[in-house]
Amino acid sequence: MEITFDILAGILDAYAYEIVFVDRDHIVRYMNKTAKERYGERVQIGQSLFNCHNENSRKKIEEFLKRADQGEDEMFETLNQKTGEREFLYQ
């Protein structure tokens, strides 16, 4: 059985967390259902990811990409329960 875009999208839409795929030019290419519901009009497919991020977030995202380019593959973002801020974690 071939996994089509529709099958993959159905699987990703069933996931309870936001999934956003962005290309190397920071353009949003895909958002699952949870991401669309959470981000609403702030994030749109085909637009720059940075349209909805401040300068501090932009620096974190660029650092994340730099580390990924250097071969790190255990990176994720989490929510700090004390401050409510999102944090990037690298392992």
Q: What is the pTM of this model?
A: 0.69
Structural domain boundaries in the chain: 1-52, 54-91
Q: Per-residue pLDDT for 79 more than 70?
A: no
Pairwise CA distance, residues 55 & 66, whole Å: 16
Q: How far apart are CA 30 and CA 69, in angstroms?
A: 21
pLDDT by residue (tens digit) across 3-59?
Answer: 899 999 999 999 998 899 988 888 999 999 999 999 888 889 999 988 888 888 888
Confidence of residue 74 (pLDDT cuts 50, 70, 90): low
Number of H helices, E strands in the chain: 3, 4
Reply yes or no on whether the pLDDT at 77 is more than 80.
no
